[in-house]
Structure 1
Amino acid sequence: MENLSTTESLILGALVLLVLFWMGPGVKASLEHSKNAETDWKAVLLPLGFVVLFVLFLIAMV
């Protein structure tokens, strides 16, 4: 695979910085919102448990 030219590297770096600055305020607001939210571990563990059981079922079927 060819290496990127200098111009392509500069454009790619500028795009990465633009995306970081564009998404920065939204990420900051999401982090603040998640700090104030109540935790609901059952909403995470229940579907995760079903996925694990389903994968074990698929493995057992082989």
Structure 2
Amino acid sequence: MSMWQNVLLGAIALLMIFWAGPGIKQSIARSKQAKSDWPALLLPLALVILFVVFLVAMV
């Protein structure tokens, strides 16, 4: 990519960060107050791991 394209890409990235910044701050504040829900993370993760092991075993 040329120099001006890199500069434009960097400017767009910075604008997106500044535009989304307040929403990200509020989300972090809300997540600190919410109760943790580990089964909602661990169950799908375990299912994916089992599926991958199954696929490897089938080869």
Question: One fold, TM greater than 0.5?
Answer: yes
> Where has structure 1 moved over 4 Å in runs of 4 or more?
none
Distance 1:43 1:55 in 2: 19
Distance 2:48 2:32 in 1: 27
Gaps of 5+ in 2: none
Q: 1:34 aligns with which of 31, 44, 52?
A: 31
Distance 1:27 1:35 in 2: 13
Measured on the aligned residues, the alpha-carbon RMSD in Å equals 1.4
**In structure 2, what is the equivalent of residue 51 of structure 1?**
48
Identity between Structure 1 and Structure 2 (%): 53
The structure that has the greater radius of gyration is: 1
**In structure 2, what is the equivalent of residue 23 of structure 1?**
20
TM-score norm. by structure 1 comes to: 0.81
Aligned length: 59
Could you say what secondary structure the match of 2:36 adopts? coil
Gaps of 5+ in 1: none
Q: Higher helix proportion, which one?
A: 2
